[in-house]
Every structure is written in structure tokens, then in C-alpha cells.
A and B are shown apart, each in its own frame.
Chain A
């Protein structure tokens, strides 16, 4: 063994090379970190860029969600039928189980002041609070399929439909070019032509759009999508009065004052060959459906101080017994919802560099 003085007794040779080696090691680690973090990968589609692109279409509104910004909180419970218990170990599906639910109805888009009739789509997000602390969060939309299959195509769609500053409207040539180069959008375009803005949240069918897997007690998994199918029939009375832009929340409050609203959680099972990783392709109507139970909504609250305000409805937050599929949109939803959640909570917290809520104009 050599003592410390002995170790230093011989000065090192090739000192310049030794310093260079040290510098290389430090720079190498720094560069690798910079690449992974995205600073040295300017072309990467980050959650931040994607959220910027979505929010740009409806304007940045501090304190609000960057998409589905206009909405209303609801509360209630989910009463399991027990019919799904054989397909998923998630405790909320066991017969007779009642699980509290905090939910949110909303209108797509980043503008919290948009007219309810501005989009023919409504959404329903739910958080099921299981007794052991587990949660199931889901964000569903009242549409048959998603326009695009990947986050990259979704980003391109946002850019192609940005309002032209000169006209205030999307450039038709850019929009046309996008849809022509993305044939997977055809089913959505055909569907949306027939879609009309509904007069009520209560009469819509909300779908998971993305596929998931149920895991049963034997360990087998089953590819599914789900739909919340309303008990309430669609109204035939022509809908809201002309000029009313906020009828959805008012209609919901009026209905809930008269009694609970109910939906059935219909679990739709794929057969081999059905697209499990592609949200642009709806499954045929004849797929096996299992009625997992009844969603009973009993009250609504304004989102400004309601219990849904601080919930990030990340659809990848799942209890045991439900798992994500390989649908690439799911990870993108998780990553971008987290970014949106941090933005609006930072704005509420007045973190330096953020806009304060209320500074934005309608």
C-alpha cells in the first residue's frame, strides 16, 4: 500500500491528454443529458410544443386547461353491474360496488369563452376514486373516432388549421393539403359532416376512442373500448334559443335539479384483427358489448371552484385490471395533459414567468 505522499511523488505524464480526457467525460455526459432533455434535439415534438400548437388555435387563457377549456364539474357515483368482473380485476367492477366519481363535461378547444355551438363535439372526463386509493381517470369524447392516429399527425393537424392572422380563418389550401396527405382522416371527416352540436350534455354518448386492455383474474387480457351510453333520450324540441352561447351548463343544472342523470358503461370487446393501436379506425357495431354498470350523476358545480378544477384527467391513470394499449395517442395525451396541468397550476400559483389568471381577454 502506498501512502498519500508516495502517491504524489511521481508527477503525471501527458497532463494535457489527461485534462482532455476529463473534459471529454464531462462534456459527453452533459451532451447526452442535453439530447435526452431535448435541448440538443430541436426537431423533437415535445409535450410543450404540442400544447403550444393546440392552445394557439383558441388563444392562451391563463389558469385554464389548454384544451377542453370550457366545462363544468359534475359529481356522482358508478354502480357496478358485476357483468365485467370476469374480465377485469379492477375492484370497481365487482357486483354491487358503488364508486364515487368526480367528473367534468366540456367543449373541445382552448377558448374557455367559446360558444357551445362552436364545435359539434362534447366531452366527459371522469375520475373514479377506489377505496384503496387507486384511481381510474378517463377522458371521453362524443365522437366515433379520432381524426389522426399519431401525435405527430395531430401536431401537423393543429398547424394546418391555425387561423391565418390576415383572415382570422384557417388557410383552406393548407387544410386541404393536410387532409389529402393524411388519408386516415377520411372516416372522421365523413362522420363530422353529419355531426351537429347537441343541445345537452345529457343525451350524448361518450367514447374512450383509444383502446385499452382489461386484465382478468387469470392474467388474460382483453382489448376493449368503452362508451358511456345515456339513458336520457335526445331532445326533440329544437335546442337552445338563438344567441344563447352558454346553454350546456344551464341545461345540465336544470336537469340535475330535477333528478340524477344516468349513463351505462358499455365495454366493447375487440375481435382479432380489430385495430387496437389506431384511434382513427372505429370497430364495427356488432362487437360484443358488456354493460359494466351505471354512471349516476347527481350534481354539478362551476369549474372555477368545483372539485374537477384541479384534476388532470390523464387517461393513463388506471387501477389494476385496466391497462393502456399500444395506441400512441395515449402516451401523448398523458405527456401533454401533464404539461397543460403544470401550466395552469403555475399560473394560479403566480410562478415567475407565467401569466396571471384573469389577465387574458375574451
Chain B
């Protein structure tokens, strides 16, 4: 089951699982800071443990990706598209790891207990400092928006490969057979 033109099954499972989690995370984050309703509380209760789960999975995924190369891109893809593909993938990896870390660090600097629910508590990773909190909190917001924009580009490009170019790139992650 390790064809050279598809991702390893483990990579595919991680990809789709994390896609769902990250999208949920981005919507939960955007929603919880823009409402004063009671959903603010339960969205926040989802946001923190989900973020840490994404962080751990992202590290596993990065390790797997570094030891299991991705299928090559089609040879006839324009250079700029290849560069954009590689850059956006590494940006996605960077954001998957950086955003949870910034969230954790910002709560630490803001002197908040980093609670994951059920009495589970993470240690602070930064000393208490309101200035650091403010900068990290702003970074968390803007990098999350960047994450969402990168997701849109990623999804648009994947659909373009699947529907317009029909070059097997989308199938390399869905695992389905390329059209014949």
C-alpha cells in the first residue's frame, strides 16, 4: 500500500484528521472572541485541549513527513506553482506548531492557569509578563488569520489539481485512484 504517487496511509489519516481539527480550531477561536454569549465559555473549553492535541499531532506528523518524503509533484507544473506548493506546506507545518505554542506561551505570560479541563493543568512556559502577553496575543490573532488564508489557498489549489489539471495530486492525499 505504499505507491510512490500517493501519501503513506498514516500521513493521509493524519492529514484529514488534523484538517478537521484545525478547521474546527480556527472557527472556535474566531467565534469565542467575538461573542459575549454563554458559548464563549464552552468554546474556550474546547479551544485549549484541542490546541494542545493539534500541537502533539503536528510534531508526530512533522517527524513522519521528514522521514517519509511526499510524492513528487507533476513534472509539468509551472515553477511558481511548485514553489508556492512547497512554501505553503511548510508554512502550514510552521503554523500548526507555532500557534498552539504561542497560545500556551501567551496564557503563561498573561498569568493564566493553562487548564485543559478535568483538573488537567499544563505548566507555564514563560514567566508572567503583561507586555509579552500583549504581543503574543496579537500574534496569535494575526497568525490564525494567516492560517485560515493559507488553508483557503491550500484547498483551492487542491481542488484545482483535482478538477482542472486532474493530475493525481489531489488523489495522492485522498488515496482514491487517479482518473483513467
Please give the residue numbers on chain A whose beta carbons come within 8 Å of chain B beta carbons, in ascending order.
Answer: 1-4, 6-8, 10, 12, 15, 18-19, 21-22, 25-26, 29-30, 32-33, 36-38, 41, 44-47, 50, 132-135, 151, 309-312, 316-317, 320, 324, 326, 328, 330-332, 334-336, 338, 341-342, 345-346, 348-349, 351
Q: Are B34 and A38 in contact (CB under 8 A)?
A: yes
User: Of A15, A21, A50, A349, which is within 8 A of B36 by CB?
Assistant: A50
9 contacts between A and B (CB under 8 A): A6-B178, A6-B180, A18-B164, A22-B160, A33-B148, A36-B34, A311-B111, A334-B40, A349-B134
| CA of A269 to CA of B70, assembled, Å | 61
Q: Are B168 and A33 in contact (CB under 8 A)?
A: no
User: Of A7, A47, A151, A330, which is within 8 A of B167 by CB?
Assistant: A7
Q: Are B164 and A348 in contact (CB under 8 A)?
A: no
User: Of B5, B138, B166, which is within 8 A of A351 by CB?
Assistant: B138
Nearest Cβ in chain B — how far from A315, in angstroms?
A: 11
User: Of B75, B130, B151, which is within 8 A of A349 by CB?
Assistant: B130
User: Of B41, B76, B137, B164, which is within 8 A of A342 by CB?
Assistant: B137
Q: Which residues of B contact A19 (CB under 8 A)?
A: 164
Q: Are A47 and B34 in contact (CB under 8 A)?
A: yes
| CA of A15 to CA of B113, assembled, Å | 53
Known A-B contacts A15-B164, A25-B155, A349-B131; the reply to A328 vs B119 at CB < 8 A is no
Q: Are A22 and B156 in contact (CB under 8 A)?
A: yes
Q: Which residues of A contact B27 (CB under 8 A)?
A: 32-33, 36
Known A-B contacts A32-B27, A33-B30, A46-B36; the reply to A7 vs B119 at CB < 8 A is no
Q: Are A22 and B177 in contact (CB under 8 A)?
A: no
Interface membership of B133, Cβ < 8 A? yes
Give 20 new A-B contacts, CB below 8 A, not counting A331-B41, A335-B32, A349-B131: A1-B3, A2-B168, A2-B178, A4-B167, A7-B166, A8-B76, A15-B164, A22-B164, A36-B27, A38-B35, A47-B34, A50-B36, A317-B112, A317-B113, A332-B40, A338-B33, A345-B134, A346-B134, A349-B130, A349-B135
Q: Which chain B residues in 19-34 approach chain A with CB under 8 Å?
A: 26-27, 30-34
Q: Are A324 and B41 in contact (CB under 8 A)?
A: yes
Closest to B71 in A: A4
| CA of A330 to CA of B132, assembled, Å | 27
| CA of A6 to CA of B110, assembled, Å | 56
Nearest Cβ in chain B — how far from A127, in angstroms?
A: 9
Q: Does more than half of chain A's interface fall in helix, strand or loop, or is it mixed?
A: helix
Q: Are A310 and B130 in contact (CB under 8 A)?
A: yes
Interface membership of B84, Cβ < 8 A? no
Q: Which residues of B contact A21 (CB under 8 A)?
A: 159, 163
| CA of A336 to CA of B33, assembled, Å | 9
Q: Are B179 and A133 in contact (CB under 8 A)?
A: no
Q: Which residues of A contact B40 (CB under 8 A)?
A: 331-332, 334-335
User: Of B3, B33, B135, B178, which is within 8 A of A335 by CB?
Assistant: B33
- Over the window 117-139 of chain B, the binary record of Cβ atoms lying under 8 Å from chain A Cβ atoms (1 yes, 0 no) is 00101010000101111110110
| CA of A6 to CA of B178, assembled, Å | 9
Closest to B28 in A: A36
Q: Which residues of A contact B131 (CB under 8 A)?
A: 345, 348-349
Q: Are B34 and A37 in contact (CB under 8 A)?
A: yes
| CA of A332 to CA of B44, assembled, Å | 13
User: Of A15, A132, A334, A341, which is within 8 A of B110 by CB?
Assistant: A341
Q: Are A7 and B179 in contact (CB under 8 A)?
A: yes
User: Of A30, A328, A351, which is within 8 A of B38 by CB?
Assistant: A328
Q: Which chain B residues in 136-170 approach chain A with CB under 8 Å?
A: 137-138, 148, 151-152, 155-156, 159-160, 163-168
Interface membership of B9, Cβ < 8 A? no
Known A-B contacts A12-B166, A22-B159, A310-B130; the reply to A44 vs B113 at CB < 8 A is no
Closest to B138 in A: A351
Q: Which residues of B contact A311 (CB under 8 A)?
A: 111
Known A-B contacts A342-B137, A349-B134, A351-B138; the reply to A331 vs B163 at CB < 8 A is no
Nearest Cβ in chain A — how far from B84, in angstroms?
A: 15
Q: Which chain B residues in 91-130 approach chain A with CB under 8 Å?
A: 110-113, 115, 119, 121, 123, 128, 130
Q: Are A45 and B38 in contact (CB under 8 A)?
A: no
Nearest Cβ in chain A — how far from B8, in angstroms?
A: 16
User: Of B34, B76, B111, B115, which is within 8 A of A46 by CB?
Assistant: B34
Closest to B135 in A: A349
User: Of B119, B138, B168, which is within 8 A of A4 by CB?
Assistant: B168
